[in-house]
Amino acid sequence: MKKRAGSAVVAHPLFQEEGGGSIPTSALDFDIVEMGMRRAQELNREWHSMLPRTDLGNLLCGSTSVAYVAEYDGQYYAVAIWSQPIIRAICDGHTIELRRLAICDTAPKNTASRMLGVMRKLVKQKFPHLTKAVSYRAVDVHKGTIYKAAGWEPVGVITKARPQRFSGVNKNTRATAPLQTQSRKERWERKL
């Protein structure tokens, strides 16, 4: 591609050359690596569109928790937080839940689906006893495109959101209620 600069013609490449720019041009450019949970929480707080708050104790409960980040040239572009399932009925020792997936505005297209594909393998390596991953889609906001692209399947029915009121911990109100979305949810699953 050529642009005129005054009367001279200046040539510019059509495509960014490898290592030639400060932002990735493809989701394939990322290294997906494990990161500490506290730093993952910070990135989630910065980027998540609906659920920026997390509770560290809740994320670290049990023995299956891990966070991953999409990194390129020393910069982070997406973060994901995994833990044992929050719902007791599926907390069976064989299932892990993707609790948060947050992506910055400058990440390239397909970042979420690429992360889901790579993380599935990383989770299986780290926790070989696990056989299934679950996650929840905010039905009122998202269509599930990233899950479909990564081979996840919707299961069950769409459920109502938890109430947003919080008056302390008692038998009727969980301490995590303020951390939840007001959207209805749908569970998605993927074999590890």
**Is 66:126 a contact under the CB 8 Å cutoff?**
yes
pLDDT of residue 161: 59
* Residue type (1 letter), 171: K
Residues 6+ apart with CB under 8 A from 192: 96, 120, 123, 124, 130, 131, 132, 133
| Global confidence as pTM | 0.76
Percent of the chain at pLDDT exceeding 70: 72
Question: How many whole angstroms from its chain centre is CA 32?
Answer: 12
Count the alpha carbons within 13 Å of 121 in the hemisphere toward its beta carbon. 7
86-103 mean pLDDT: 91
CA-to-CA separations, 52 to 36, 49, 102, 156, in angstroms, rounded: 17, 7, 9, 26
Question: Domains in the chain, ordered, with CATH?
Answer: 26-136 (3.40.630.30)
Mean pLDDT of the chain: 80
Residue closest to 185 by CA, chosen among 135, 144, 134, 136: 136
Residue closest to 159 by CA, chosen among 131, 175, 173, 180: 180
pLDDT of residue 181: 58
Give per-residue pLDDT as tens, 138-167: 887 778 889 999 999 999 766 765 555 444
